[in-house]
A = this chain, B = another copy of it.
């Protein structure tokens, strides 16, 4: 591939830290092939659910396209359920991606934007009901570390985003590249999407 893969990391107030920075650490292990850009409603600092702030580099309005869009969860997703401008940007941007991927309750944002209609998906097993309520046309899987349906990936809670990110890297590039990223981060990859230690019944 001549050009770098553009990975857009979505930020909003009270995003979950590890949801976004776990996957970005792994994509970040491939600096010759990947470019990361942090997206959100307004340029500048934005506070996480845990307290530390990160920085939005580019507005959603100004973003025409990313190859991979990463959508974290966190308590801040709840305030976005009625933000139609935000949800419209999500729909528009998703239409330009090769892959869109949510982590944890980020799935509620994709569901509310209608992007999970008619698809299989998963989400945080502890806050399962919240995304499910906003995705009545989605088949929600209670046992899945992550789910890929078409060009949408959804991961289970927080840490599951790293296992999913490596699967995404394996799909976009190849498995040796994913194994390289995992090893560089000394990360023990749960490579089996169906192996879910936090499944609910």
Contact = CB atoms under 8 A, between A and B. Distances in A.
Interface residues of A, number: 43
Contact of A54 (B55, B184, B188): B55
Contact of A186 (B27, B37, B48, B198): B198
Contacts of A185: 18, 157-159
Interface in A134-167: 156-160, 162
A188 B197 contact: yes
12 contacts: A24-B52, A25-B50, A28-B49, A28-B51, A35-B51, A38-B51, A54-B55, A55-B55, A159-B185, A160-B186, A186-B198, A188-B190
Given A17-B28, A22-B22, A53-B54, 8 more contacts: A9-B52, A21-B22, A25-B158, A28-B48, A36-B51, A38-B52, A52-B55, A126-B186
Interface of A: 9, 16-18, 21-22, 24-25, 27-28, 31, 35-38, 45, 48-55, 57, 124-126, 156-160, 162, 183-188, 190, 197-198
